[in-house]
Amino acid sequence: MSTETVKISQYNLNCFCCKRDIKKGTCITRVIENTGMELRPRGDNMRPTYTNARWVHAWCLPRYNNTEHFYESLCALISECKDEDEASEIEEMLRDHKYWKDEKY
């Protein structure tokens, strides 16, 4: 695991992917998404504000998003591919690997 994409949690958080607690000192990674987590409106500002991104366990894989750790692993494997068919096959194999925990509904 790279130290650039996998960090050590400094706080106690909740993993939306596996619905378990992320305890301080646990390996976490950031979800690649546009909006991030929605914060409740404060004061006169009635529109919700957003954080940069949500954090999950390093091995959790959200249903509709990728994580930085997953993307880094995928890029490392795809860099050795010669064509797109092989690359898409590698992505399917990586996504289906038992290492990852899929998001619970």
Q: What does pLDDT average to in each consecutive run of 10 residues of the chain (105 residues)?
A: 82 91 93 71 64 85 88 88 85 85 78
State pTM to two decimals: 0.74
Choose among 26, 24, 94, 17: nearest CA to 56: 17
Domain that holds residue 51: 6-102
Question: What is the per-residue pLDDT across 33-61, written as a single tens digit (0 to 9) for each?
Answer: 776 666 666 667 666 566 667 899 999 99
**Alpha-carbon 43 to chain mean position:** 31
Residue 17 inside a domain? The answer is: yes
Domain count, the chain: 1
Please give the C-alpha separations between residue 11 and each of 31, 33, 55, 66, in angstroms, as whole numbers: 17, 21, 11, 22
Residue 11 inside a domain? The answer is: yes
